[in-house]
Amino acid sequence: MDVPEQLIIPMRGGAMSIRLEVWGDNALFTRGEFKTERVTYDVMTPSAARGILEAIFWHPGMCWRIDRIHVLNPIRFDSIRRNEVDSVIDKGKIRAMAEGRGDGGTIYAAESIQQRASTILRDVRYVIDAHFELKRSKMTPTDSAEKFQNIFIRRASKGQCFHHPYFGAREFPAEFQLWEDDSDPVGFEQGHRDLGYMLYDFDYRNPAHPVPLFFHAELNDGVVDVESVEVKS
Protein backbone atom coordinates (compact mmCIF):
# COMPACT_ATOMS: atom_id res chain seq x y z
CA MET A 1 0.00 0.00 0.00
CA ASP A 2 1.32 3.47 -0.88
CA VAL A 3 1.11 5.76 2.14
CA PRO A 4 -0.28 9.26 1.44
CA GLU A 5 2.51 11.81 1.74
CA GLN A 6 0.61 13.97 4.26
CA LEU A 7 0.41 11.04 6.71
CA ILE A 8 4.17 10.58 6.88
CA ILE A 9 5.98 12.53 9.59
CA PRO A 10 9.76 12.73 9.02
CA MET A 11 12.09 10.60 11.13
CA ARG A 12 13.30 12.22 14.35
CA GLY A 13 16.68 10.97 15.51
CA GLY A 14 16.27 7.62 13.77
CA ALA A 15 12.69 7.13 14.96
CA MET A 16 9.47 7.01 12.94
CA SER A 17 6.55 9.24 14.03
CA ILE A 18 2.76 9.08 13.77
CA ARG A 19 -0.22 11.20 14.82
CA LEU A 20 -3.48 9.53 15.89
CA GLU A 21 -6.82 11.02 16.97
CA VAL A 22 -8.75 9.07 19.62
CA TRP A 23 -12.09 9.76 21.28
CA GLY A 24 -14.80 8.18 23.39
CA ASP A 25 -17.75 8.75 25.72
CA ASN A 26 -15.87 8.01 28.94
CA ALA A 27 -12.39 7.30 30.27
CA LEU A 28 -10.81 6.13 33.53
CA PHE A 29 -7.05 6.61 33.93
CA THR A 30 -6.83 5.42 37.52
CA ARG A 31 -4.66 7.28 40.01
CA GLY A 32 -2.56 4.81 41.99
CA GLU A 33 -2.81 6.67 45.29
CA PHE A 34 -6.51 5.82 45.67
CA LYS A 35 -6.95 2.26 46.84
CA THR A 36 -10.69 1.64 47.25
CA GLU A 37 -12.46 4.22 45.11
CA ARG A 38 -11.16 4.78 41.60
CA VAL A 39 -10.34 8.33 40.62
CA THR A 40 -9.10 9.28 37.16
CA TYR A 41 -6.24 11.55 36.19
CA ASP A 42 -7.33 14.75 34.46
CA VAL A 43 -5.97 13.59 31.09
CA MET A 44 -4.81 10.41 29.40
CA THR A 45 -1.54 8.99 30.70
CA PRO A 46 1.37 8.17 28.38
CA SER A 47 1.06 4.48 29.26
CA ALA A 48 -2.63 4.50 28.23
CA ALA A 49 -1.68 6.20 24.96
CA ARG A 50 0.98 3.55 24.35
CA GLY A 51 -1.60 0.83 25.00
CA ILE A 52 -3.89 2.29 22.31
CA LEU A 53 -1.07 2.30 19.75
CA GLU A 54 -0.08 -1.26 20.63
CA ALA A 55 -3.70 -2.37 20.25
CA ILE A 56 -3.53 -1.21 16.62
CA PHE A 57 -0.05 -2.53 15.82
CA TRP A 58 2.71 -4.06 17.91
CA HIS A 59 5.87 -5.92 16.92
CA PRO A 60 8.71 -7.20 19.15
CA GLY A 61 11.13 -5.26 16.96
CA MET A 62 9.67 -1.86 17.87
CA CYS A 63 8.94 0.20 20.98
CA TRP A 64 6.38 3.03 21.09
CA ARG A 65 7.36 6.34 22.72
CA ILE A 66 4.77 9.04 23.43
CA ASP A 67 5.85 12.61 22.59
CA ARG A 68 2.75 14.76 23.16
CA ILE A 69 -0.91 14.37 24.08
CA HIS A 70 -3.19 17.07 22.68
CA VAL A 71 -6.34 17.50 24.77
CA LEU A 72 -9.07 18.65 22.36
CA ASN A 73 -12.17 18.54 24.60
CA PRO A 74 -12.69 20.30 27.95
CA ILE A 75 -11.89 18.20 31.02
CA ARG A 76 -15.20 17.06 32.53
CA PHE A 77 -15.83 14.54 35.29
CA ASP A 78 -18.66 12.16 36.15
CA SER A 79 -19.26 9.95 39.19
CA ILE A 80 -20.57 6.43 38.72
CA ARG A 81 -21.06 3.36 40.89
CA ARG A 82 -20.17 -0.11 39.63
CA ASN A 83 -20.55 -3.62 40.93
CA GLU A 84 -17.21 -5.40 41.32
CA VAL A 85 -15.97 -8.56 42.99
CA ASP A 86 -13.78 -8.07 46.04
CA SER A 87 -11.14 -10.71 45.21
CA VAL A 88 -9.01 -12.01 42.34
CA ILE A 89 -8.38 -15.53 41.08
CA ASP A 90 -5.15 -17.10 42.35
CA LYS A 91 -2.92 -18.18 39.44
CA GLY A 92 -1.59 -21.05 41.58
CA LYS A 93 -5.11 -22.45 41.91
CA ILE A 94 -5.62 -22.11 38.15
CA ARG A 95 -2.41 -24.07 37.57
CA ALA A 96 -3.60 -26.74 39.99
CA MET A 97 -6.94 -27.01 38.18
CA ALA A 98 -5.09 -27.47 34.86
CA GLU A 99 -3.30 -30.39 36.50
CA GLY A 100 -6.60 -31.89 37.61
CA ARG A 101 -6.54 -30.66 41.20
CA GLY A 102 -9.15 -28.31 42.69
CA ASP A 103 -11.71 -25.99 41.12
CA GLY A 104 -9.38 -23.13 40.22
CA GLY A 105 -10.47 -20.96 43.14
CA THR A 106 -13.86 -20.15 41.64
CA ILE A 107 -15.26 -16.74 42.54
CA TYR A 108 -19.05 -16.42 42.74
CA ALA A 109 -20.12 -12.88 41.94
CA ALA A 110 -23.28 -13.12 44.04
CA GLU A 111 -21.15 -13.85 47.12
CA SER A 112 -18.19 -11.54 46.46
CA ILE A 113 -19.89 -8.53 44.92
CA GLN A 114 -19.45 -5.03 46.30
CA GLN A 115 -20.33 -1.60 44.98
CA ARG A 116 -17.59 0.95 44.38
CA ALA A 117 -17.68 4.56 43.27
CA SER A 118 -15.51 5.84 40.43
CA THR A 119 -14.72 9.34 39.23
CA ILE A 120 -14.34 9.18 35.46
CA LEU A 121 -13.87 11.52 32.51
CA ARG A 122 -16.63 12.08 29.97
CA ASP A 123 -16.61 13.08 26.31
CA VAL A 124 -12.86 12.80 25.77
CA ARG A 125 -10.91 13.49 22.59
CA TYR A 126 -7.15 13.48 22.20
CA VAL A 127 -4.49 13.50 19.52
CA ILE A 128 -1.45 11.35 20.26
CA ASP A 129 1.95 12.32 18.85
CA ALA A 130 4.28 9.35 19.11
CA HIS A 131 7.27 7.69 17.53
CA PHE A 132 8.73 4.23 17.70
CA GLU A 133 12.26 3.05 18.20
CA LEU A 134 13.66 -0.14 16.72
CA LYS A 135 14.90 -3.22 18.57
CA ARG A 136 17.35 -4.64 16.04
CA SER A 137 17.78 -7.90 17.94
CA LYS A 138 14.04 -8.64 17.56
CA MET A 139 13.81 -7.79 13.86
CA THR A 140 14.00 -10.08 10.85
CA PRO A 141 16.04 -9.21 7.74
CA THR A 142 12.86 -8.02 5.98
CA ASP A 143 11.79 -5.68 8.81
CA SER A 144 12.41 -1.94 8.66
CA ALA A 145 11.14 1.30 10.18
CA GLU A 146 9.34 2.17 6.94
CA LYS A 147 7.63 -1.23 6.91
CA PHE A 148 6.38 -0.83 10.49
CA GLN A 149 5.10 2.69 9.84
CA ASN A 150 3.31 1.61 6.67
CA ILE A 151 1.64 -1.28 8.50
CA PHE A 152 0.46 1.00 11.30
CA ILE A 153 -0.91 3.62 8.90
CA ARG A 154 -2.68 0.98 6.81
CA ARG A 155 -4.29 -0.62 9.87
CA ALA A 156 -5.28 2.70 11.46
CA SER A 157 -6.75 3.92 8.15
CA LYS A 158 -8.96 0.85 7.94
CA GLY A 159 -9.93 0.83 11.62
CA GLN A 160 -8.11 -2.46 12.20
CA CYS A 161 -6.70 -3.49 15.58
CA PHE A 162 -5.50 -6.62 17.39
CA HIS A 163 -7.99 -5.85 20.16
CA HIS A 164 -10.25 -2.85 20.51
CA PRO A 165 -8.37 -0.06 22.31
CA TYR A 166 -9.83 1.43 25.46
CA PHE A 167 -9.43 4.42 27.75
CA GLY A 168 -8.00 2.92 30.92
CA ALA A 169 -10.77 0.34 31.47
CA ARG A 170 -12.20 -2.12 28.96
CA GLU A 171 -15.75 -0.85 29.43
CA PHE A 172 -14.65 2.52 28.01
CA PRO A 173 -13.76 1.79 24.35
CA ALA A 174 -11.70 4.24 22.30
CA GLU A 175 -12.44 5.08 18.67
CA PHE A 176 -9.51 6.12 16.50
CA GLN A 177 -8.46 7.55 13.17
CA LEU A 178 -5.31 9.03 11.68
CA TRP A 179 -4.98 12.79 12.04
CA GLU A 180 -5.09 13.85 8.41
CA ASP A 181 -5.32 17.61 8.88
CA ASP A 182 -2.27 19.53 7.66
CA SER A 183 -2.51 21.88 10.67
CA ASP A 184 -1.60 21.02 14.25
CA PRO A 185 -4.38 20.01 16.68
CA VAL A 186 -5.81 22.87 18.74
CA GLY A 187 -6.18 22.25 22.47
CA PHE A 188 -9.37 23.09 24.33
CA GLU A 189 -7.79 25.92 26.32
CA GLN A 190 -4.93 28.37 26.18
CA GLY A 191 -2.60 28.97 29.07
CA HIS A 192 -0.97 26.82 31.72
CA ARG A 193 -2.49 24.19 34.02
CA ASP A 194 -0.46 22.18 36.55
CA LEU A 195 -1.66 18.55 36.58
CA GLY A 196 0.66 17.36 39.35
CA TYR A 197 2.49 14.05 39.30
CA MET A 198 1.14 11.53 36.82
CA LEU A 199 1.93 7.93 35.92
CA TYR A 200 4.32 7.86 32.96
CA ASP A 201 4.66 4.11 32.44
CA PHE A 202 6.10 0.99 34.03
CA ASP A 203 9.69 -0.21 34.01
CA TYR A 204 9.45 -3.83 32.87
CA ARG A 205 13.14 -4.72 33.09
CA ASN A 206 12.11 -7.13 35.84
CA PRO A 207 8.80 -8.50 34.47
CA ALA A 208 7.93 -10.12 37.80
CA HIS A 209 8.09 -6.76 39.60
CA PRO A 210 7.35 -3.84 37.24
CA VAL A 211 8.21 -0.46 38.73
CA PRO A 212 5.82 2.50 38.19
CA LEU A 213 7.43 5.65 36.80
CA PHE A 214 6.01 9.16 37.31
CA PHE A 215 6.52 12.65 35.90
CA HIS A 216 5.34 16.18 36.68
CA ALA A 217 2.59 16.79 34.11
CA GLU A 218 1.73 20.24 32.80
CA LEU A 219 -0.95 21.27 30.32
CA ASN A 220 0.26 24.15 28.16
CA ASP A 221 -2.20 25.47 25.57
CA GLY A 222 -4.03 22.15 25.74
CA VAL A 223 -0.93 20.00 25.21
CA VAL A 224 0.88 17.64 27.60
CA ASP A 225 4.48 17.49 26.36
CA VAL A 226 6.10 14.27 27.59
CA GLU A 227 8.97 14.06 25.11
CA SER A 228 11.62 15.49 27.42
CA VAL A 229 10.14 15.18 30.92
CA GLU A 230 12.11 13.99 33.93
CA VAL A 231 10.85 10.54 34.91
CA LYS A 232 11.09 9.30 38.51
CA SER A 233 10.26 5.99 40.17
Flag whether pLDDT at 213 surpasses 70: yes
Nearest in space to 224 (alpha carbons), one of 115, 74, 66:
66
pLDDT, average across residues 68-92 = 86
Nearest in space to 9 (alpha carbons), one of 135, 137, 106, 18:
18
pLDDT digits (tens, 9 = 90+) for 133-149: 888 888 899 999 999 99
Q: Where are the domains of the chain?
A: 5-80+119-225
CA distance 138 to 93: 34
Flag whether pLDDT at 16 surpasses 90: no
pLDDT at site 123: 97
Q: Give percent of the chain with pLDDT exceeding 90.
A: 59
pLDDT at site 15: 56
Flag whether pLDDT at 34 surpasses 90: no
Flag whether pLDDT at 3 surpasses 60: no
**pLDDT-based confidence at residue 13 (cuts at 50, 70, 90):** very low
Flag whether pLDDT at 184 surpasses 80: yes
Flag whether pLDDT at 106 surpasses 80: no
Give the list of residues 6+ apart from residue 29 with CB closer than 8 angstroms, or none.
40, 41, 43, 44, 45, 48, 121, 167, 168, 199
Mean of the per-residue pLDDT values of the chain = 86
CA distance 217 to 39: 17
pLDDT at site 183: 87
pLDDT at site 90: 74
DSSP strand pairing (38-39 vs 113-134) = parallel
pLDDT digits (tens, 9 = 90+) for 38-57: 899 999 999 999 999 999 99
CA distance 44 to 168: 8
Reduce the DSSP state of residue 52 to 3 states and report it: helix
CA distance 95 to 132: 36
Flag whether pLDDT at 17 surpasses 90: no
pLDDT, average across residues 208-224 = 93
Read off the pTM: 0.82
Which residue would you say has higher pLDDT here, 214 or 12? 214
Give the list of residues 6+ apart from residue 63 with CB closer than 8 angstroms, or none.
132, 133, 134, 135
Most confident of 83-92, 121-130, 200-209: 121-130
Looking at the domain 5-80+119-225, which fold is it? Answer: Alpha-Beta Plaits (3.30.70)
pLDDT digits (tens, 9 = 90+) for 163-181: 999 999 999 999 999 998 8
Reduce the DSSP state of residue 157 to 3 states and report it: helix
